[in-house]
Chain A
Amino acid sequence: MSMHPPHSSAIPDPAYDAETRQLEQTWASPPGFFAWFTHVNQTNIGMRFIVTGFVFFLLGVILALLMRWQLAVPENTVMGPELYNQIFSMHGITMMFLFAIPVMEGVAVYIIPLMLGTRDMTFPRLNAFGYWIYLIAGIMMYIALFLNIAPDAGWFSYPPLAGAAFSPGLGLDFYTTVITFMEISALVAAIELIATIFKCKVPGMSLNRMPIFVWSILVMSFMIVFALPPLVIASLMLALDRMAGMQFFTAASGDPVLWQHLFWFFGHPEVYIIFIPALGMISSIIITFTQRPIFGYIPIVLSIVSIGFIGFGLWVHHMFTAGLPQLGANFFTASSAMIAIPSGVQIFCWIATLWGSKPRMDTPMLYVMGFFLIFIIGGLSGVMVASVPFDMQAHDTYFVVAHFHYVLVGGALFPLIGGVHYWYPKFTGRMMSERLGKWTFWVTFIGFNLTFFPMHQLGLQGMPRRVYTYIDGLGWNQLNLFVSLSAVILALGFVMTLLNALISLKRGKSAGDNPWNADTLEWATSSPPPSYNFRHIRIVDSRYPLWSGTGGLEQNAVVHGIRSDRREILLTSILESHPEARQPLPGPSPWPFWLAVAVALTFAGMMLHLAIPLIGFLLCFAAITGWIWPRSGRAAA
Chain B
Amino acid sequence: MSVAHKTTPRTPHDIDVSQLPDYSFESRSPLWWGIVGLMTVEGTVVATLIASFFYLQGNHAVWPPSGTTPPDLMLPILSTFVLMLSMVPVYLTDRAFKRGNAKPLATLPILSIALALVFLGIKAYEYALHVDFRWDSHAYGSMVWLMIGFHSTHVIAVILKTLVVIILARQGYFTPDKRIAVTVNGLYWYFVAAAWIPLFMTIYLGSRIWNE
Contact = CB atoms under 8 A, between A and B. Distances in A.
A246 B136 contact: yes
B67 to A, nearest CB: 12
B8 A583 contact: no
Contact of B136 (A14, A15, A234, A244): A244
Contact of A230 (B2, B23, B48, B178): B48
A617 B38 CA distance: 18
A583 B2 contact: no
A528 to B, nearest CB: 13
B49 interface: yes
A637 B184 CA distance: 11
B41 A191 contact: yes
B10 interface: yes
A225 B44 contact: yes
A519 interface: no
B139 interface: yes
B15 to A, nearest CB: 6
A88 interface: no
A232 to B, nearest CB: 7
Contact of A579 (B20, B31, B41, B141): B20
B61 to A, nearest CB: 12
B65 A13 contact: no
Contacts of B2: 524-525, 534-536
Interface string B163-199: 0100010000100001001000000000000000000
Given A191-B41, A539-B15, A557-B14, A568 B22 contact: yes
B41 A561 contact: no
Interface stretch (A171-179, A248-256, A437-445): A248-256
Given A194-B37, A229-B48, A630-B173, A584 B22 contact: yes
A199 interface: yes
A255 B59 contact: yes
* Residue of A203, A513, A561 with most partner-chain B CB within 10 A: A561
B30 A621 contact: no
A246 B135 contact: yes
B157 interface: yes
B101 interface: no
A90 interface: no
B18 A247 contact: no
A571 B24 contact: yes
B29 to A, nearest CB: 8
Interface string A310-332: 00000000000000000000000
B99 interface: no
A538 to B, nearest CB: 8
A481 B160 CA distance: 61
Contact of B181 (A19, A199, A561, A636): A636
Interface string A554-572: 1011111111000010110
Given A123-B34, A580-B24, A636-B181, A247 B17 contact: no
B142 interface: yes
A187 interface: yes
Interface residues of A, number: 83
* Residue of A248, A558, A630 with most partner-chain B CB within 10 A: A558
Given A195-B30, A253-B139, A255-B59, A513 B168 contact: no
Interface in A219-236: 225-226, 228-230, 232-234
Given A194-B37, A582-B17, A630-B173, A535 B6 contact: yes
A192 B34 contact: yes
B42 to A, nearest CB: 7
Nearest to A258: B55
A187 B13 CA distance: 39
A558 B173 contact: no
Contact of A203 (B15, B23, B156): B15
A521 to B, nearest CB: 10
Given A571-B28, A581-B28, A559 B15 contact: yes
A560 B15 contact: yes
A500 interface: no
Contacts of A17: 6
A47 to B, nearest CB: 21
Interface of A: 7, 13-17, 19-20, 122-123, 126, 187, 190-192, 194-196, 198-200, 203, 225-226, 228-230, 232-234, 237, 240-241, 244-248, 250, 252-255, 258, 261-262, 513, 524-526, 534-536, 539, 553-554, 556-563, 568, 570-571, 573, 579-584, 617, 621, 624-625, 628, 630, 635-637
6 contacts: A199-B33, A248-B56, A558-B11, A579-B20, A580-B24, A635-B23
